[in-house]
A and B are shown apart, each in its own frame.
Chain A
């Protein structure tokens, strides 16, 4: 059973639009939610993260919205650029336990 689910599996948006990537989780004890970005041929790298005490985290064009009650979060990428084309992994963790990754969303930005 997947602890962390992501949707959609793939997403295509036009340059300049807002891309919305969704994530949900099962374990209510999770309190740390990082998003990792992976370009082809590279390893994932931390993009942005949020802790469960917050409902929003912003870093430039990237924003995480977090709904603790519904156990859902989303990553919004505003003014999408072709360079944002990558696979995005939502992950979840708590305390000193290893984090769990979702299956990823492959994002393509069309110029």
Chain B
């Protein structure tokens, strides 16, 4: 069964600190994504990647970096965490981009204080 695993599942970070969210998939998918979920905004795409060592900006990339060191792993990095980045973050993967099923992880709840 397709699996996307995120760590940590929850985290409290201090304003101005560095935060790294990790994601691992065993689906053998080329595409991986980082989404942010906020009440009233649904799921918004931050960064995505379709091949190792390459990342692309999504719709709301400001304040975030991404890293794809291998096909299986995709990280989201907040260099200087801010209060406005408090949200639930989802990693996802898919065979390709477009008309295909996207498989999501269980999410990471990030609270910046």
Contact = CB atoms under 8 A, between A and B. Distances in A.
Interface stretch (B11-19, B62-70, B79-87, B102-110): B102-110
Interface string B83-113: 0000000101000111101111111000000
A103 B41 contact: yes
Interface residues of A, number: 26
Nearest to B101: A46
* B interface, size bucket: 20 to 34
Contacts of B103: 45
A99 B99 CA distance: 8
A31 B105 CA distance: 26
Dominant SS at the A interface? loop
Contact of B90 (A44, A49, A97): A44
Nearest to A96: B98
A28 to B, nearest CB: 16
Contacts of A99: 98, 102
Contacts of A94: 98-99
A25 interface: no
Nearest to A42: B106
Given A43-B92, A43-B107, A98-B48, A34 B101 contact: yes
A97 B97 contact: yes
Given A46-B102, A101-B43, 7 more contacts: A9-B40, A32-B98, A45-B104, A98-B45, A98-B48, A101-B42, A103-B41
Interface of B: 4, 33, 35, 40-45, 48, 58, 90, 92, 96-99, 101-107
Interface of A: 6, 9, 31-32, 34, 36, 41-46, 49, 51, 89, 93-99, 101-104
